[in-house]
Amino acid sequence: MGIVFRLAELLLMLVPVAGVVFAGIGVWRRVRGPAAPEPTDPDGRPAPTNPATLWRIVTRTLEEHARTDTRWLDYELDAAKLLDFPLMTDLRAPLTAEFHKAKLRADLLRPGKAEDLLDDREAAAQYLAAVEDYTTAFDAAETEAIRRRRSDFSPEQQQRIARARSLLSVAADDGATQNERGRAYELAGKELEGLVVLPPTTRAGLERGIAGQLDG
């Protein structure tokens, strides 16, 4: 019976001590703050530590980045395609704005080569996630642009865009004279005024083609 009372006394002594210990741990955790999460890839998996595995993943990501860039370049270098799907350049559209924002972030994080990220798991994880966001955002923007085509424009505005498309085809035609191409480009700009803004790359390509013909 005496042993029972002694155990009870021991427990009564330990309870306050345990409370202090647990309270101290809680304070320490609050002061330290939350533990930094481990770098992860776009699927939420921890970024690989094996250099060979990480190199393969980053290399595939660089290739996916380049493929998405090429898909966008197909629009930038083809004014007619842009005018068929004008939403791709309309930054007032949320999906289009998100795509261009995601592209900018992915481009900023792109390494010169896969080896540049082998010693920085956090930078590698950020780049993998950025390319995933870029590709996903492009798919969403393109799907919406194809769905809506020119339906956001009135019949009169659609006619103006159609005329501009025909004029830009002349402006890009190597068989037309320099004067014909230049005049067509100028008229196309007037038709598109207030409706569609061609990207700088698109305009520069057309202008180089016209000027190059004159230089030749």
Q: To the nearest whole number, what is the mean pLDDT of the chain?
A: 82
Residue 187 CA to its chain's centroid (Å): 34
pLDDT tens digits for range 97-141:
999 999 999 999 999 999 999 999 999 999 999 999 999 999 999
Q: Are residues 186 and 140 in the same domain?
A: no
What value does the mean pLDDT take over residues 164-172?
95
Distance CA 114, CA 43 (A): 19
Which amino acid is it at 4?
Answer: V
- Domain C-terminal end among 105, 125, 152: 152
CA atoms within 13 A on the CB side of 46: 6
Q: Are residues 89 and 77 in the same domain?
A: yes
Task: Let me know if residue 25 belongs to a domain.
Answer: no
The answer, yes or no, to whether residue 142 has pLDDT greater than 60, is yes
Distance CA 188, CA 120 (A): 49
Give pLDDT, residue 40: 52
* Range of the structural domain that residue 190 is part of: 153-216
Give pLDDT, residue 18: 43
pLDDT-derived band at 212 (thresholds 50, 70, 90) equals confident
Domain count, the chain: 2
Give pLDDT, residue 69: 97
Q: Are residues 60 and 119 in the same domain?
A: yes
pLDDT tens digits for range 81-96:
999 999 999 999 999 9
pLDDT tens digits for range 24-45:
334 234 333 444 444 455 455 5
- Domain C-terminal end among 124, 152, 180: 152
For the entire predicted model, the pTM comes to 0.72
Percentage with pLDDT > 90 across the chain: 71
Task: Let me know if residue 209 belongs to a domain.
Answer: yes
